[in-house]
Structure 1
Amino acid sequence: MSSSGYENYPFNISSYFSAFDDGQLCQKELKEESTSWRSEKYPPDSHVLILDHDKCTSKSNYYDDEGIDKLLESPKQPQIRFILMEPNVHEKAAEAVRRNEKAAKVLRANELQEETSKAAATRSTKSADSSVLVDEKLRPEVPDELNVSHDSLLKILKRYNFAPGACSHIRGQEQIFGSRVNRDGKGEIQSFEFWYAIRARMYLRDARKDADMKMTIVTNYDVRNKTTVVLIKYRSFNDLPDHLKVELTDKLKELVAQPTTAALAENPFALSLFHFNSTIQYYRRAARDPRDSVRNEVRKAHQGRKQLESIDLQQLHLTLTSLDQDKVQLNFILGVIKRLRKQHDAFYKQVRKMPDLDRRDWLFYRVEEELDRFENQITYFKTSIEDVASTAQRLMDLMFNMNSRFDSQANAEMAKNAMREGAATRTIAIVSMLFLPGTFVSGILGTNIISGPENEPSSSASAPKDTRLLVSSQWWILVVASVGLTALTFFCWFIWKRSTDKAIDRREKDLEDKV
């Protein structure tokens, strides 16, 4: 195959129509420049795992740019070809998580961590058509870098006439379902394409990290040659989902190596179903930790205030947010399964020419059975996640309500103390008012009302001293003034208190009316 003109993809492919295909957007998605981690960088040379199955024989190998050119130029194409794109991760987090004893224990208990020995074993792959181990050349781990060069990717897309609408999945964050049926001038179907992306994710509470992997599957079925090319991309922000990547790659190699895979060649929908099964099991294992953690915290909430205060509210909120994201992704996967069923039915009607359900082959029913099983499993796990999320939400509501209750109790206790202090203050004020008028009058009158005896010179030194108290004839003025002023003071205090109480009552009533 001549690779000339691949730079103008998708404008130079036979199936391109500007009314339906946005070629300019496609070229922007595939441009060489990388503006962020969302659009990966291209390497100087490719290092792509390509797996072929053709009539019960299989072959898998890693190819550089030169090897890809030779592979694409070959006139003979296998029945089934998988092209695996594996971008490098943006962040290395697995090693730090392994040093976190609690987080590592959770990963091991739920079979979400790749064992060191198995990780080393993945450095070499066994060729499906040979018993010789083929060493995998380790490419430089440049963050956010694809394993296919820009030129090789465009050559692959042009060679197999991939739809421009799938390019935002191939390099970007798009996650929608798409399909296209190519026909010639006579209306005969030339190819049947469909593409989608699903996510497997989990939230590791003890490390406060997300493990999120996006699986993009772009399938092109050549009707005339009855060959299928599947472009697969596994992408994650960090290396926490590496265990899932290894599992999927092993399943892909097993699928290609099995002689019975030849029977699946005429149904492209059967070739990527293993992604759903692995994704479902990943959600199942990942849901154990938040479920058990939320249950433990619910028990704490009913063991008193001290245990309630030990619950990490921020951690609980992050868990609830992650569960909400799980529900969104599971709902999307259910939508993908629904659309796959619709396209599967259209494939048998338009391509296989089997409009009647009763006349369709066993493979159609087997695929439908698997999709039905996936749908039921995902619905169950979605219900389970919703239950955990609602439990977490109820726990947060309970924490707020109990904290409000504790605050109310504290405020009530403070109010009681304030009332006691107010009563004591009132007693002191009353006693002060009782003595204040007399003190005031006594201070004014001084000592002119009551006095001691006058000191007159005595003629005899032995004469007795006069110790009598002399009371003024106007002593009653002190009593009348003291009693009168005391009564006046209490009367003024009573009038002031009553007017103040009325003002407070009016203010509270106005506030209630406004509310």
Structure 2
Amino acid sequence: MTESKLPDFPFCLPSYVAAFDDGQLAQQELKAETRSWRSEGYAKESDVLIFDHHYGVGTHRRCNDDDIDRILAEPPPQVRFVLLLPTVHERIADTVARNPAAAEVLRKNELYDEHVGDPADPENVSWVGDQFNISQRSLFRIVTKYDIAPAACSHIRGQEQIFGSRIQKNQENEITSFEFWYAIRARAYYREVDKDADLKMTIITKYDVASDTTIVLLKYRSFNDLTSKLKRELISKVHELVMQPTTESIASNPFAITLLHFNSTAQWYRRAARDPRDRVRSEEEKAHDQAKGNKNEINAINVRRLHLTMRNLDQDKLQLTFILGVIGRLLSMPEDRDWLYLRVDEEFDRLENQITYFRSSIEDVSNRAQRLLDLLFNLSGQQNARWSEKVGLQAMHESASMRAIAIVSMLFLPGTFVCGILGTNLFSAEESGSGRNLGTRFKVSSQWWILLATMIPLTGLTFIIWVVWRSRTESQITRNIVEENFLSEMFQKDVESGKGPQRRRSLRHPRRFSLIPNSIGFGRFAESHRSPS
């Protein structure tokens, strides 16, 4: 059947109301064209798993287009699951499993089984990414047969995740059917390879009151194949549900038959939260590890990985909050509920408490990661302060040296001037001869040694004075630094012992570095804080 012969969904539905239902949007969502991985392509021939339960008897089968036409013409069973399994966008599980560090995390947290393939992979045809296991023709026939709400099309083929519902009544104001649809996500982040395992579970449920039957459209979609184990776990639970004879007693409650997704999602988050918690704890220990004597604690922590961990934890919190909202909407409120509705409410309440706990646990890990980032900023500031202190000390020493050089230069200026005046009598030039033999004779005074006898000792004395001056200046700088450190330590001890306010007035104006010795004052301060021993 070509696209032109497809049912005119949703305009052909008897329940369609243009004021409420956006038919054009529904057709746009289900069109054959695909422009990105977000909109799956259709299969040429359907290969869909359909699970049926009818009064204690369960069946499951793979159906092609002809099989789907045949079962749609039959009377509906009590419960029917139609499983839509699009292929993933990229297959990376085998590559990730070959990474020793990632493989250890996968095995430890039971998130992946290398012996189990993706159930969405086709068996008889070549693999194509982002493709449904159902043809467009069969999908249109299913949504038309069961009168699925047009608003749910964004969940069937798209990235919509909101909660929606629709109730239909007859002229006597009696409920004839009601349906609800939503999507929840189970996420895990593999830090070693910086990959997400994100499975979106779309559940579209419709209950028909007259026939007491329920149709459930399930869609399990993930970007990569790291969620293969979770997909198989969910399919196995659906199979167990329809094969269990006791399912007959809950078939009339559409809320009960999809509880399996919440429980599996909660357990997936529980296992996925282990690795981020362990990693953040390891980074915290690196920041406080003093045994190795590593003063540069910042380089020991992988800030980029820590940032990615926080980003994924924030996504987990967002998804868990949405799941809690879905559970709140699914809880029934009437007071005339029977035992089954009460049992469903009890199960929803348990799942709500469980997911709330997991969300709190994830928030705790996220807060710890944030505190670790704050600690990194503080350590970075302390390191910058230490470097600034070193630069300041070097500048102070350089300043003292320049001051000494300036003083030496000033001392030399008068002597240089005097030597310039007196030196004119030590050397002279006289003309001698006549005519062609005229020349100039250079004469040195017999007292020339006086210049050397005075210049050399004075130069040596000047250098000695400079060395002594520089030594005294550096010693004073060192004493001032020790004094400032001592004052800071004593103030910190006073604060810890509760005496901080008494000392605060004395430290209100901190001592500045000075080149004038003040060892007496420092000695008295140290003497006043000396221990009684």
TM-score range, shorter chain: 0.7 to 0.9
C-alpha distance 123-410 of structure 1, shift in aligned 2 (>3 A): closer
Q: Which amino acid in the other structure matches residue 330 of structure 2?
A: L
Query: How many residues align structurally?
Result: 433
Match of 2:35 in 1: 35
User: Is residue 194 of structure 1 aligned with residue 187 of structure 2?
Assistant: no
Match of 1:97 in 2: 96
Q: Among residues 324, 332, 338, which one is paired with 1:334 in the alignment?
A: 324
C-alpha distance 467-250 of structure 1, shift in aligned 2 (>3 A): closer
Counterpart-to-counterpart distance in 2, 1:441 and 1:261: 118
Match of 2:310 in 1: 320
Counterpart-to-counterpart distance in 2, 1:22 and 1:179: 15
Counterpart-to-counterpart distance in 2, 1:39 and 1:294: 36
User: Is residue 159 of structure 1 aligned with residue 145 of structure 2?
Assistant: yes
Q: Which amino acid in the other structure matches residue 100 of structure 2?
A: E
Match of 1:292 in 2: 278
Q: Among residues 403, 412, 420, which one is paired with 1:435 in the alignment?
A: 412
Q: Among residues 158, 171, 191, which one is paired with 1:205 in the alignment?
A: 191
SS of residue in 2 equivalent to 1:7: coil
Listed one character per residue, the Cα deviations across residues 488-510 of structure 1 (whole Å, up to 9, x for unaligned) are xxxxxxxxxxxxxxxxxxxxxxx
Match of 1:73 in 2: 73
Q: Among residues 377, 395, 403, which one is paired with 2:380 in the alignment?
A: 403
Counterpart-to-counterpart distance in 2, 1:139 and 1:79: 33
Displacement after TM superposition at 1:442 (Å): 3.1
C-alpha distance 5-223 of structure 1, shift in aligned 2 (>3 A): farther
TM-score, reference length from structure 2: 0.77
Q: Retained in 2: the 8 A contact 1:112–1:285?
A: yes
Counterpart-to-counterpart distance in 2, 1:103 and 1:28: 41
Q: Retained in 2: the 8 A contact 1:34–1:41?
A: yes
Match of 1:236 in 2: 222
SS of residue in 2 equivalent to 1:333: helix
Match of 1:383 in 2: 360
Q: Retained in 2: the 8 A contact 1:264–1:270?
A: yes
Match of 1:178 in 2: 164
Listed one character per residue, the Cα deviations across residues 29-84 of structure 1 (whole Å, up to 9, x for unaligned) are 1111001100111111111100000011111011111111111122x111000000
User: Is residue 265 of structure 1 aligned with residue 251 of structure 2?
Assistant: yes
Match of 1:426 in 2: 403
Q: Which amino acid in the other structure matches residue 384 of structure 2?
A: D
Counterpart-to-counterpart distance in 2, 1:4 and 1:440: 111
Q: Retained in 1: the 8 A contact 2:207–2:214?
A: yes
Displacement after TM superposition at 1:273 (Å): 0.1
Match of 2:44 in 1: 44
Listed one character per residue, the Cα deviations across residues 116-154 of structure 1 (whole Å, up to 9, x for unaligned) are 0x449x799xxxxxxxxxxx8444321000111111101
Counterpart-to-counterpart distance in 2, 1:294 and 1:259: 46
C-alpha distance 470-232 of structure 1, shift in aligned 2 (>3 A): closer
Counterpart-to-counterpart distance in 2, 1:470 and 1:213: 101
Listed one character per residue, the Cα deviations across residues 216-271 of structure 1 (whole Å, up to 9, x for unaligned) are 00001011000000000000000001110010000000001000011111101000
Counterpart-to-counterpart distance in 2, 1:313 and 1:467: 79
**Percent identity between the two aligned chains:** 54
Q: Which amino acid in the other structure matches residue 250 of structure 1?
A: S
Counterpart-to-counterpart distance in 2, 1:451 and 1:394: 80
C-alpha distance 154-53 of structure 1, shift in aligned 2 (>3 A): same
Match of 1:417 in 2: 394
Q: Which amino acid in the other structure matches residue 189 of structure 2?
A: Y
SS of residue in 2 equivalent to 1:272: helix
Q: Retained in 1: the 8 A contact 2:78–2:214?
A: yes
Gaps of 5+ in 2: 433-443, 450-533
Q: Retained in 1: the 8 A contact 2:94–2:114?
A: no
User: Is residue 368 of structure 1 aligned with residue 345 of structure 2?
Assistant: yes
Displacement after TM superposition at 1:188 (Å): 2.7
Counterpart-to-counterpart distance in 1, 2:70 and 2:448: 137
Q: Which amino acid in the other structure matches residue 241 of structure 2?
A: L
Counterpart-to-counterpart distance in 2, 1:52 and 1:467: 129
User: Is residue 394 of structure 1 aligned with residue 393 of structure 2?
Assistant: no
Counterpart-to-counterpart distance in 2, 1:4 and 1:35: 21
Counterpart-to-counterpart distance in 2, 1:371 and 1:470: 112
User: Is residue 447 of structure 1 aligned with residue 423 of structure 2?
Assistant: yes
Match of 1:252 in 2: 238
TM-score, reference length from structure 1: 0.80
C-alpha distance 453-201 of structure 1, shift in aligned 2 (>3 A): closer
Displacement after TM superposition at 1:276 (Å): 0.2
